[in-house]
Amino acid sequence: MATSHKSTDRLEALRRCADAYGADPARWPAASREDLRDLLDADAAADILADARFLDGFLNAATAPRMSADLENRIMANYQVPKPQAGLMDFLRGLAPGMRLLPAGALAGVGALGLASGVMSASAQEPLTPEYEALAYVNDLSVATLNEDGELEWDAE
């Protein structure tokens, strides 16, 4: 009886996951993915997952356009080079003139690894400055280059 209840509860948990996140376990919260892994191939889960997969297919069919170069230029035209934090720009220049700032995700990764701590500001979890991290978000394809004057130059890959 207890086993049956447990099985029903777990199936219900799978249904909740699929209802909220879809059929792909990669999209589920890690804990649920781990807990429910063995249910994925169960017959009882098939209908639940098929139903969610149907909607996933539709959602994935909706594409979004990429940001145009013109929009990126307009956004960057509004950007003012921030006043550098004391010592930061000298430090960066000393590291490598012309260095490319990493995309935000990579910066966070560097911080998480505890590397290049000198490039990070006061908190190890805090990226260089909001400006620098923000710039990486303007367009996923854009990277900034720090020139010899400590200004950001932009290009697209």
Chain contacts with another protein (rule: CB under 8 A): 16, 19-22, 27, 29, 51-59, 61-68, 71, 74-75, 78-80, 82-83, 104, 108, 123, 125-127, 129-131, 133-134, 137-140
CA 114, chain centre distance (Å): 19
> In the complex, what is the shortest distance from the CB of residue 27 to another protein, in angstroms, rounded to a whole number?
7
> In the complex, what is the shortest distance from the CB of residue 48 to another protein, in angstroms, rounded to a whole number?
12
Distance CA 23, CA 112 (A): 31
CA max distance for the chain: 74
> In the complex, what is the shortest distance from the CB of residue 104 to another protein, in angstroms, rounded to a whole number?
7
Distance CA 113, CA 83 (A): 27
Q: In this complex, which beta carbon is closest to another protein, that of residue 62 or of residue 156?
A: 62
Distance CA 133, CA 75 (A): 15
Q: In this complex, which beta carbon is closest to another protein, that of residue 140 or of residue 151?
A: 140
Q: In this complex, which beta carbon is closest to another protein, that of residue 11 or of residue 67?
A: 67
- Find the helix or strand (DSSP H, E) in which 75 lies: helix 69-77
Q: In this complex, which beta carbon is closest to another protein, that of residue 2 or of residue 65?
A: 65
> In the complex, what is the shortest distance from the CB of residue 101 to another protein, in angstroms, rounded to a whole number?
14
> In the complex, what is the shortest distance from the CB of residue 39 to another protein, in angstroms, rounded to a whole number?
18
Q: In this complex, which beta carbon is closest to another protein, that of residue 96 or of residue 122?
A: 122
Q: Which residues of 39-74 are buried (b: 16+ CB within 10 A; e: fewer)?
A: beeeeebeebbeebeeebeeeeeeeeeeeeeeebee
Using alpha carbons only, what angle is made at residue 108 by residues 97 and 112, rounded to the nearest 5 degrees?
110
